[in-house]
Structure 1
Amino acid sequence: MKKYLLIALLSFSTAVLATPASAEITSQNDIGFAVSHSGVVKGNANDVWKQIIQPKNWWNKAHSFTGDSNNLYLDSQAGGCFCELIKEKAADGLLKTVGSVQHMRIIYTDPGRVLRLDGALGPLQSEAVTGTLTIAMKEQKDGTTIVNFSYVVGGYMRYKVPEIAKLVDMVIADQLGRLVMLVGPAVTQEDDAEKENDGFKLDIDKLSNPTTEKPAVDKVDAAKLPAKEVAKPSATKIVTDKMTAKNNDTAMVNDTAKVNETAKAKQTGTATEENDKPKER
């Protein structure tokens, strides 16, 4: 197994040095980096998709652990594996699978639109980092398709970020270039790819729903709104109110009469007391 790890590390470095640098590191800091590359191919997105899910046809064998692209396979569903079988010749001369390597794991799949994978490629596999590769396709009116590879890496690594970022950037550029050549590069590839590389956003919602603008909301003019009408009391309420008022008046009259009677009674009582007193001689 150590033999395969050494081959992978050396092939990663030497193959990268043979690949022209494209300087597409879109962001970088002390704990990670992001790279992005675009190309334009002839044909529709489905043509591209059919090739993407067959990595053995385009993935550079120099970036494999066994040095043989035929050992690569991809299960194109969420949770599926982008893996590599490790084979050796048995005593009878036949190849026998003795191990395997997971390059990445599929976390999102939308055929003809987006394939997103999670995994640290190459020598990054031995580091405490997370890598997310998004492969997105966008069909054009002229019948071509823009393909974008975006790879974001973050976490703790023992490599110097600026150095490893350049190597990874060239690896991603190499893989995309091989896919484009397999499907068939469009004549306008260089101009269109350069134009779309910065503005082509790899947002699932935007790719799945091309129209993302919210419909305009008409402003309401308060002056044009109809004035609120004051609710008119019902006939029943009017009668009830009148009866309540009448009852209140009657109660007041009764209370007044009681007060008068009480005062009169007091006056009568006082007069009686005066008459009962003995007269002085």
Structure 2
Amino acid sequence: MIRLLALIGVLLAIPARAEIIDSAERGFTVVQTASVAASPDRAWQALTSEVGRWWHPEHTWFGRADALSINARAGGCFCEISGDAQVEHARVIFVQPGKLLRMSGALGPMQGMGLSGLIDWQFAAKDGETLITLRSRFGGYAPEGLGALAKPVDYVLGLQLKRLAAHIEGRELPR
């Protein structure tokens, strides 16, 4: 019970907001935001150079967050490399350091479903903090439709943003 209360306290302390913007048969858009007590440059560094320290290992192919990297240049890779086992999660298509990182790809099981997506990480200074906005759009053909994927994807990406925010501020990472 104490662990549950502690977990609830940690989750409530994380200033994040998530929203499914739209969800249809052929795709969906999810948006999460978090404010962190850091500069946009520090938040950018944590995203691009420290992803292996905050990404949840249960949401990797090989169970090791430290196998993740983001090469923040046009054509760069958000990759997971564990020896001979390798995955390209997304390709970097737009870089404006400290402001916007845009990637194209399909995360997790969406990759095997033949879906595609755009993932934007935006950073904006606001009232001495940085507002991080994670906007993700996924679409494609799936016989069973894509509407049901919006909630689980929203949850997983929201968790990653909460973990990034906690990492930036030196707090315990949410599970």
Q: TM-score range by the shorter chain?
A: 0.7 to 0.9
CA positional deviation for 1:161: 2.2
| Pairing of 1:15-34 with structure 2 (within 5 A) | 24-34=19-29
**Pairing 1:182–2:167 present:** yes
Contact 1:132 1:151 in 2 (8 A): yes
- In the alignment, is the contact (CA less than 8 A) between 2:27 and 2:147 conserved in 1? no
**Helix, strand or coil: the match of 1:24?**
strand
Say whether the 8 Å CA contact 2:18–2:32 is kept in structure 1: no
Structure exhibiting the larger radius of gyration computed from Cα positions = 1
- Superposed CA deviations along residues 143-165 of structure 1, whole A, max 9, x for unmatched, are 10100000000111245423211
State the Cα RMSD in Å: 1.8
CA contact (8 A) 2:18 2:31 kept: no
Task: Give 4+ residue runs of structure 1 displaced > 3 Å after superposition.
Answer: none
Deviation string 1:239-274 (CA, Å, 9 cap, x unpaired) is xxxxxxxxxxxxxxxxxxxxxxxxxxxxxxxxxxxx
- The letter for the 1-side match of 2:131 is I
Match of 1:82 in 2: 78
What's the counterpart of residue 158 of structure 2? 173
Partner of 1:121: 107
Partner of 1:110: 96
Q: Is the 8 A contact 1:127 1:158 kept in 2?
A: no
CA separation in 1, counterparts of 2:142 and 2:33? 27
1:99 offset after TM fit, Å? 2.4
Cα distance in structure 2, aligned partners of 1:110 and 1:23:
24
Q: CA deviation at 1:173?
A: 0.5
CA distance in 2, matches of 1:159, 1:57: 35
Mapped contact 1:24–1:36 kept (Cα < 8 A): yes
Shift of 1:40: 0.3
- Relative to its length, the structure with more strand (as a share) is 2
Contact in 1 for aligned 2:55/2:163 (Cα 8 Å): yes
How many residues align? The count is: 155
Structure 1 CA distance for aligned equivalents of residues 121 and 84 of structure 2: 31
Deviations 1:188-236 (CA, angstroms, capped at 9, x unpaired) = xxxxxxxxxxxxxxxxxxxxxxxxxxxxxxxxxxxxxxxxxxxxxxxxx
Contact preservation (8 Å) 1:119, 1:132: yes
Listed as ranges, the gaps of 5+ residues in structure 2 are 1-10, 171-175
Structure-2 change in CA distance of 1:102 and 1:159 (3 Å): farther
Q: Deviations over 1:54-94 (max 9, x none)?
A: 210111111101101111111110000010113xxxxxxxx
Distance 1:101 1:159, change over 3 A: farther
1:101 alignment partner, one of 59, 75, 87 = 87
| Post-superposition CA distance 1:94-148 (Å, at most 9, x none) | xxx22211011100010000000111111000122211100001101x3101000
CA distance in 2, matches of 1:42, 1:115: 20
Distance 1:71 1:158, change over 3 A: farther
| d(CA) in 2 for partners of 1:48, 1:131 | 23
Higher helix share: 1
Q: 3-state SS of the aligned residue for 1:106? A: strand
Give the Cα separation in 2 of the matches to 1:60 and 1:157: 27
1:164 equivalent in alignment to 2:160: no
- 2:51 is the counterpart of 1:55: yes
Please state whether the residue corresponding to 1:135 is helix, strand or coil: strand
Q: TM-score, normalised by structure 2?
A: 0.83
Q: CA deviation at 1:47?
A: 0.6
How many Å separate the matches in 1 of 2:26 and 2:33? Answer: 25
